[in-house]
Every structure is written in structure tokens, then in C-alpha cells.
Structure 1
Amino acid sequence: FLMSDQNNYQVKIAVFKGITVTQFKDRKEISGSTPKQIDESLSFINLNNPLSSKISGQGQRADQKSYPTIAIREAVVNALSHRSYFSKSPVQIEIYDDRLTIMSPGPLPGGLNKEAVLSGITRIRNYGITQILYHLK
């Protein structure tokens, strides 16, 4: 079900002007298969990930996104693959001028607490989903 277009769980992405939620610049709701949600979320975030360029004495400029694309990919994949599917709440992604937040519904899995997570302990909540996504690369 989660890998099909009938998947009715969603990702909601909001881009705000400034550092508060008072003014939207853009927003998107994404539904469909989990791989589709991942791809469309990454595409939309990339469009809203500001690029800066540094010009030095070298022949080429150095471009850099505000947020590393590899870190965003990891966070989005984790939010979707490890979310609690007992909750109908969407994965929420918020982009501000000074930060990007990704919130995945549900408590920490398997009795983990904040201290355990911060010390590097992990647990897979949805083993089947992570295996399918692993094989899909």
C-alpha cells in the first residue's frame, strides 16, 4: 500500500518568509507512493535551498547550497521510512530563512529516549519499508 499511488499519507512542505510562520512564500502537499513522496519532496526542497557563490582569484566560482543535499536526502528518507503509520498526521517540512525543519509523526521507536538517540543508538521502526527503499536505492 505505501509503495503504491493509493498511499494516502502525505508530506506537507511550507516555505516561510523570515524566521516565523507568519507569512508563507510557498507550500506543497505531496501524496502517492513513498518513493514518489521522497523524490518530490527532495525536488521541492532543492528549489527552495538557496545557492550562494564565492568568487576568488581562481578561474571558477565556488557554489554552495545553504543546506547540504546529502543531509537533506538522509533526513527526508528517514522521516518517511521511520515515521509512525499509526498517525494520519503528515510528515512536515518547514523552510525558513535561517533553518530547515523536518518533523516525522510518532514517538521515538522501541522505547528509545532522547538521551539514547543523542548517544547514537538507533532502531528501525518499519523494517519492511527500509528494506524496500534500500533495494530501490
Structure 2
Amino acid sequence: MTTSGFVDPENHLYTNLAFRFSDQYDIPTKMAVYQGLNRSVFRSKKEFQGSIVKHIERVMEYYEVCNEVRVIIDGKPTRTEIPSYDMSSAREAILNCYCHRDFSRKLNIKIEFFDDRCEIISPSVFF
């Protein structure tokens, strides 16, 4: 536990890192799907609680549900499915939110889908 950074070697207390990986972590990640191009009408919204690991798992699952897929049927035996956003790129952006966020500020990571875009917002350090 000490080597991993979960316990402070001097006072033997759990660290902030351990708190973030526990189910007691209290800053939710918020996801929303809006109708149109602004934030005036929700289609759906979710909040994810618990450890950062659970946040990432649940966010990726819900992102995949919200990622609209176009289907092209062109007479071939199989259809072509084209998601709005590449899942490997989305995963990278979402992981970056957690890796590079400013944990000193109690702000939410937000992922928002609009008719024309997806915004991934992470609280970070401002200079």
C-alpha cells in the first residue's frame, strides 16, 4: 500500500490517491445528451459515483450507447456501420480527463453530446 502511494509512509494514513480509488470518492462525472445545438433541452443525463475506476468503466459504457451509429445499406451482403465518434479516440480523451484533471478543485468532468458535436470537459489547472 505504501509503495503504490495509498498509505503515507510517515503517518501511516491513507492518502488522497487512496481516496480517489475508493468508493467514497464524492465528485461525480456527469454526462448529458441534448436536443439541438445548445443546453436548453435534455434528452438524457447521468451521473457516475464511486471510485475513479468505476467512473471510467461506466462513462465508456454510456458513451458507447450515446455514440450514434449510421448504417449504410448498399446492396452488399453486409451493412456498413459508422459511429459518430471513434471509440479509441474517445477513450483516450476520457482517460486524459482523469489523468490530467486538477484534483484540488471539486469540479465535475462533463461529457456532453449535441446534435453536431461531443464536448469532453475536464477541470484543469488555469494559469
Please classify the TM superposition score into its range, dividing by the shorter chain length: 0.7 to 0.9
Question: How far 1:107 moved relative to its partner?
Answer: 2.1
Query: What displacement does 1:92 show?
Result: 0.9
Aligned to 1:59: 77
Q: Is 1:40 paired with 2:40?
A: no
Letter in 2 for 1:106: S
Counterpart secondary structure, 1:46: helix
Question: Which amino acid in 2 is paired with 1:76?
Answer: I
What residue identity is the alignment partner of 1:40?
Answer: R
> What one-letter code is carried by the residue in structure 2 that aligns with 1:17?
Q
User: 1:83 deviation in Å?
Assistant: 0.5
The structure with the largest helix share of the pair is 1
Q: Distance in 2 between matches of 1:72 and 1:6?
A: 26
Q: 1:14 aligns with which of 26, 32, 35?
A: 32
**2:114 paired with 1:90:** no
Percent same amino acid among aligned pairs?
33
Aligned residue-pair number: 109
Query: Residue 116 of structure 1 aligns with which residue?
Result: none
Q: Which runs of 4+ in 1 moved over 2 A?
A: none
Matched with 2:91 is: 73
Separation in 2, partners of 1:41, 1:11: 8
Q: So what's the TM-score if we normalise by structure 1? A: 0.75
SS of match in other structure, 1:13: strand
Tell me the distance in 1 between the aligned counterparts of 2:105 and 2:118.
Answer: 23
Greater shift, 16-25 or 47-56, is seen at: 47-56
SS in 1 for 2:120: strand
**Which runs of 5 or more residues in structure 1 are unaligned?**
112-137
The offset of 1:58, in angstroms, is 2.1
How far residue 43 of structure 1 moved from its aligned partner, in angstroms, is 1.0
* RMSD, aligned α-carbons: 1.3
Larger Rg: 2
- Taking structure 2 as the reference length, the TM-score comes to 0.81
